Amino acid sequence: MTEMVYGTVPVRGGEPVLPKWWRTVDKWSLSCILMLFGTGILLGLAASVPLAERNGLTPFHYVQRQAFFGGVAMIAMMLTSMLSPLMVRRLAVIGFIGAFIALVFLPIFGTDFGKGAVRWYSLGFASVQPSEFLKPMFCIAAAWLMAASQELGGPPGRTYSFALMVAIVLMLAMQPDFGQASLVLFGWGVMWFVGGAPMVLLLGLAGLVVLGGMFAYNSSQHFARRIDGFLSPDIDPNTQMGYATNAIQEGGFFGVGVGEGTVKWSLPDAHTDFIIAVAAEEYGLVLVLAIIALYATIVVRSFVRLMRERDPFIRLGGTGLAAMFGVQAMINMGVAVRLLPAKGMTLPFVSYGGSSLIATGIAVGMLLAFTRARPQGEIGDILRGRAR
C-alpha cells in the first residue's frame, strides 16, 4: 500500500538490473510510448507510400527505415531508462558537449537538402540533425547547473544555464529553425520556473521573446511568410496547410477508411510534419483523440511522479524533458489544425525521421529513468524532520 501511495519501493540488495527496472519503471508511460510507436508505423504504411513512388523507391521503403530507426530508438530508450540519475547526468553532459560542437560547425559542414535551412549533416546513407539530440542533453545539463546553484557555496548555475540557452537559441534561429529554438527556450523557462525563479524575471524573459519575434519577423522573410500565412483569413487550397485542413474536415469522426485518404498524395510532408492530417482523414477524430490521450498520459504521469521527488536535479531535469516532449506534440498538432504557424516539427514517435526518433527515444529513456520509483521519503516528511 505504501508503494502505491508514495511511489517508494523496498531496497533489495543484489537484485538483477532487469527485474529491478521492471519493478520500478512507470509501466503506464512505457505502454503509451510503445503504442505511439506502433501508431507511427501504422500511419507510415499509408502516408509514406506515395512519396516512395515519387522517388522511384519500393513502396514501403520509408516504413522499413522508420521501423529500423524506431527499433534503435526503443533499444536506446530501454537502456537509458535502466541508468541511475548519476549515469544519466554523465551521459547527457558528454552528449551535450558533442551536440553543441556539432551545432557550431553546422553552417560550415551542414546541408539544407534544398529546404532553405541548414539543419543536417549528410552521411550519405542517412542524415543527422544535431538540434534533435541537443534538446534533451541541454535539459539535463541545465538542470544540473540549476540544482548546483541551490547548494551552499554552489556556482552561479542559473546564469551559466541562461548563457548556454541564449547561445543555442541564437544558433538555431540563424539556421533558421525557430521551432527548435522555441522548444529549447520553453524547456529552459519551465525548469527555471520550477527552480524558483522570480516572476519578474520570467515576465522580463517573455518580453524579450516578444521583441525577438518582432525582430525575426522584420529580418527573416522565411519567418515573415509563415506568420503572414498563419494570420491570413484565407487558406490557399493548394498549399500544405490547405491540404491538411481539407483532410481533417473530410475525416470527420470515424474517417474515410483505411487506405482511402487522398491527402498523402498531395502533401510532400505527409509522413513527417503533417502525419496527424493522415490520421484524421483515414481514421477520424477517434484516433486523433487517442493519440492526444497517449501524450497527455505520459506527461501528466511524469509530472505527478516528479512532484514526489526530493532531488532537485531529478525534479528539474525530468520536468524539462516532460515539458519539451508534450509541447512538441502540441505544436505539431496545433500547426495541422492551424492553431499555430507552421514550424516544421515532427510528432514524437509517430512522424518519420531517424534523428527525431532516436533522440526522442533517448530523451524519454532519461525521463523514465528519472520517474522510476526509489526508496525515499516524501518531501513533506523530510521538511518536518528538519524542523524538529
Locate the domains of the chain by residue range: 19-370
Q: Let me know if 254 is exposed, middle or buried by CB neighbors in 10 A (0-12, 13-18, 19+).
A: exposed
Q: Which range is least confidently modeled, 33-37, 92-96, 350-354?
A: 350-354
Mean of per-residue pLDDT scores for the chain: 85
Query: Taking a C-beta distance cutoff of 8 angstroms, is the pair 344, 179 a contact?
Result: yes
User: Residue 5: pLDDT above 70?
Assistant: no
Residue 7 scores a pLDDT above 50: no
Give residue 270's pLDDT. Answer: 76
- Supply φ then ψ for residue 7, to 5 degrees: 75, 20
Which range is most confident: 109-113, 243-247, 261-265?
109-113
Average of per-residue pLDDT across 53-70? 89
pLDDT in the model for residue 12: 57
Lowest mean pLDDT among 199-203, 308-312, 346-350: 199-203
Task: Mean pLDDT check: name the lowest of 246-255, 326-335, 375-384.
Answer: 375-384
Q: Give the per-residue pLDDT at 18.
A: 86
Name the pLDDT band for 329 (thresholds 50, 70, 90). very high
157 vs 225, residue with greater confidence: 157
First-to-final CA distance of the chain? 27
* Cα(329)–Cα(254) distance, integer angstroms: 22
**Among 104-108, 190-194, 235-239, 334-338, which stretch is predicted with the lowest mean pLDDT?**
235-239
**pLDDT confidence of residue 162:** 92
**What's the predicted TM-score (pTM) here?**
0.88
With cell 483515414, the residue in question is 282
Mark out the alpha helices in 308-378 (DSSP H runs).
Answer: 312-336, 354-370
Q: Across residues 136-163, what is the average pLDDT?
A: 91
Residue-wise pLDDT tens digits, 280-291: 999 999 999 999
% of the chain residues with pLDDT over 90: 46
Mean pLDDT of 50-65: 86
Q: What is the pLDDT of residue 376?
A: 60
The answer to whether 319 touches 196, Cβ cutoff 8 Å, is: no
Give the pLDDT of residue 190.
92
Q: Counting every residue, how long is the chain?
A: 388
Q: What is the share, in percent, of the chain residues with pLDDT greater than 70?
A: 91
C-alpha torsion angle, residues 151, 156, 158, 162 (rounded to 10): -160
Q: Given this model, what pLDDT does residue 236 score?
A: 62
Is residue 271 predicted with pLDDT exceeding 50?
A: yes
* Residue pLDDT, tens place only, 188-225: 999 998 888 777 777 887 787 788 778 777 877 767 77
DSSP 3-state assignment of 111?
strand
Q: How sure is the predictor about 14, in pLDDT bands with cuts at 50, 70 and 90? A: low
Q: pLDDT-derived band of residue 1, with 50, 70 and 90 as boundaries?
A: very low
* pLDDT tens digits along 103-147: 999 989 988 877 777 888 988 777 899 999 999 999 999 999 999
Contact 319, 303 (CB under 8 A): yes
Contacts of 276 (CB under 8 A, 6+ apart): 288, 291, 332, 333, 336, 347, 350
pLDDT tens-digit readout, 312-323: 999 999 999 999
Q: Are 241 and 235 in contact (CB under 8 A)?
A: yes
Phi, psi of 121 (to 5 degrees): -105, 125
Nearest to residue 336, comparing CAs of 255, 257, 272? 272
Average pLDDT over residues 45-56: 83
